[in-house]
Amino acid sequence: MNQQLNSIEETEKQKLATDKSILKIWGSSRLQGNVNISGAKNSALPAMAATLLSSEVCRLHQIPCLADINTMGKVLSALGAKIKQNGNTLDIDPRDLDNPEAPYELVRKLRASFFAIGPILARLGVARVPLPGGCAIGARPVDLHVRGLQALGAEVHIEHGMVNAYISGSKKKLQGAKIYLDYPSVGATETLMMAATLAEGETIIENAAQEPEVEDLANLCIAMGANIFGAGTKTIVISGVPKLHSVDYTIIPDRIEAGTFLIAGAITNSDITISPVVPKHLSAVISKLKSVGVRIIQETSDSLRVLHGETLKSTDIDTQPYPGFPTDMQAPFMALLSVCSGSSSMTETVFENRMRHVSELNRMGANIRVKGNHAIVQGVPKLSAAPVVGTDLRASAALILAALAAEGETTFQGLQHLNRGYEQLDIKLQKLGAKLQKVDLVKENHTFPSSI
Ligand code: UD1
């Protein structure tokens, strides 16, 4: 990250990434009030990468202050871009982009930084980005990104864990192509859509991901001068242009953070209002909340109020690509199902290893059985506090939600995961009246509970 950004908030950012504090949560309190939803992490990350397509300074608003955003900033800086941060606004100057190689240490930490391969290749004619590897939730290959770039005319060779891509010929231009994605991968759709904006001719991406973040990225690129049609549907058509210009763009609210707060309201039998949100982006989550008996009221065009209904009852959920139920809400919703009466089923179809929160929820008194990617949740009347450890971002959110509803004092370890995706979650919950406290283990001379 460049000097200005370093000097402003580097200490704060270091803390986010390496936060070894624990959260103590005293559950069973009712929450009340309004929550401000931050900009979407999954829009902000590709949006930052997309600014590399431009040869002018770009301004992005509503960028959440998160560890992942910091890592992406470091990747862009390593490539030669300059970044200035002012609160939730980022100015990115990509004019001096000159290094085609993203550092392994950063890509390893943040898979999404691999998505920068499309813009780097389109701008410089060459890109070297390490394979990101798997993570806690699955193997997460990038074959669809690679095959799509090859279809656009790039030579791509993978050697020693590095994806080496270049465009041969004197013009150094990708060529428009028809690409069918075997799976509607969000990241592959974003990589290929960005790369195609500067290609010669027309690109058609079929079986594209329809996630709101893909549409948001397309809108950003369109505001930079790209010709993109159909983003948000299964077929995206991109007519390449010679260059993209500067932009002043506000990204969409985070639908996963919004969904997490809707569940926080439901699981604590509370009355809270969240804004800004795009209610349409939450259709599947709202529909499932209503089917278990939670009341959701759309107060204004960009705010939702959650109220507890009568007794909450079971439901069955399969995660799916958008507009289906989002995999990122699977773990948080399972915390709620664990206190819904009757037997619910939850099937994870997007990632292969996304049930690691179950054993921790069971330690809090939940009754969940897992077979492969299928969980049967037998509702219990009450959860009970326990020391728990978050293994990834959304698993951690699930445990915080369970702790808010549980009787007693939960100690949660895993803030470094939460800091990747939830901006000031502890402070936002405290403002709603939740009883929680961050404890610095070093200062307090604590040790982690022996079961961890
Ligand atoms: C994005 C989101 C993540 C969300 C996920 C699914 C960001 C930064 N992250 O991740 O929060 O959980 O979408 O909504 O936006 N796959 C392949 N080959 C590929 C690419 C993907 O087999 O080349 C598979 C993956 O292993 C996974 C499935 O496709 O099983 C979906 O992955 P994908 O949609 O690509 O997720 P991400 O873009 O990585």
Write the pLDDT tens digit of every residue in 384-420.
999 999 999 999 999 999 999 999 999 999 999 999 9
- Tell me: the pLDDT tens digits for 160-215? 989 999 999 888 899 999 999 999 999 999 999 999 999 999 999 999 999 999 99
DSSP assignment string, 75-128:
HHHHHT-EEEEETTEEEEE-TT----B--HHHHHH-GGGGGGHHHHHHHHSEEE
Cβ atoms of 340 and 291 within 8 Å: the answer is no
Ligand 1 atom having least distance to the Cα of 211: 14
Please report the pLDDT score of residue 75 as a whole number. 95
Whole-prediction pTM: 0.94
Please report the pLDDT score of residue 134 as a whole number. 60
Nearest CA to ligand 1 atom 1: 186
Ligand 1 atom having least distance to the Cα of 41: 8
In testing the pocket of ligand 1, which one of 140, 210, 322, 325 has its CB within 8 Å of the most ligand atoms?
140
- Tell me: the pLDDT tens digits for 65-116? 999 999 999 999 999 999 999 999 999 999 999 999 999 999 988 989 999 9
In testing the pocket of ligand 1, which one of 185, 191, 348 has its CB within 8 Å of the most ligand atoms?
185
Q: What are the phi and psi torsion angles at 363 (to 5°)?
A: -65, -20
Question: Is 221 an annotated catalytic residue?
Answer: no
- Cα(202) to centroid of ligand 1, in Å? 25
Instruction: Give 1's pLDDT tier (boundaries 50, 70, 90).
Output: very low
Position 13 pLDDT exceeds 80 = no
Q: Using a 6 Å CB cutoff, which residues line ligand 1?
A: 42, 45, 112, 138, 140-145, 183, 185-188, 209, 213, 326-328, 350-351
- Cα(142) to centroid of ligand 1, in Å? 9
Question: How far apart (Å, rounded) are the C-alpha atoms in residues 95 and 352?
Answer: 40
Instruction: Give 17's pLDDT tier (boundaries 50, 70, 90).
Output: low
The 3-state DSSP composition of the chain as helix, strand, coil percent (nearest 5) reads: 35, 25, 35
Ligand 1 atom having least distance to the Cα of 144: 23
